[in-house]
Amino acid sequence: SREILFRELQHQVGNNLQMVGSMLSMQKRKLREPGAIAAVDEAAKRVALIGSIQRQLYDPDGSPVELAALLRQVVEDCIATTGRDDIATTLSLPDALRLAPEMAIPTSLIVAEAVNNAIEHGFDGQAGHITLTVWQENDRLTIAVDDDGTGLPAGFAPDQAQRLGLKLATAMARQHGGTFELQTHAAITRAALTLPFKDR
């Protein structure tokens, strides 16, 4: 009974978040100022993503989450939200890695920001390829999102960027003892999230 109630609660919370995302999307249609439209649209996408993640966290015992499955879903959701069919993906995800439940949402949001940033800015008006790679080294976990888009602007400094999404990603990474970095090298732009990690 406890497990059934927990699953139902998680499902309902996910549904409620999806509804909030839909309401924000509806509200966006009433706006005219481009900056306001973009801000509400970003908020709607983030809330919808949290709802999707919430529906995956079904274990009442708080068991670790399978990282590969979680990140696959994040990438799929990000691309599906754009409605684009010209973005290829390659995912290199170790099946054995598990993530603590309390880290699932912040990690997913940061990865989603990296993927969305690649699509919106790297592939603006062009097709592209995103490669997501995960590896563990000692007590650190790194999730790298590479894209072959237009690259970062000259003189770009991630810690001085004004984009809200990048600020949130950087802040969430630091909050959990990690880092979030952006750089372009040899025509590939990499967004890398590194977090403290203990294999479970």
CA-closest candidate to residue 119, choices 89, 93, 154: 89
- Tell me the two tokens of residue 154: 């000259």
- Enumerate residue ranges in the chain where pLDDT < 70: 1-18, 54-62, 157-162, 198-200
The answer to whether residues 147 and 123 touch, using CB atoms and an 8 Å cutoff, is: yes
- Tell me the two tokens of residue 44: 């709607």
* pTM assigned to the model: 0.78
pLDDT digits (tens, 9 = 90+) for 6-28: 456 555 666 666 677 777 777 77
N-terminal to C-terminal alpha carbon distance within the chain:
27
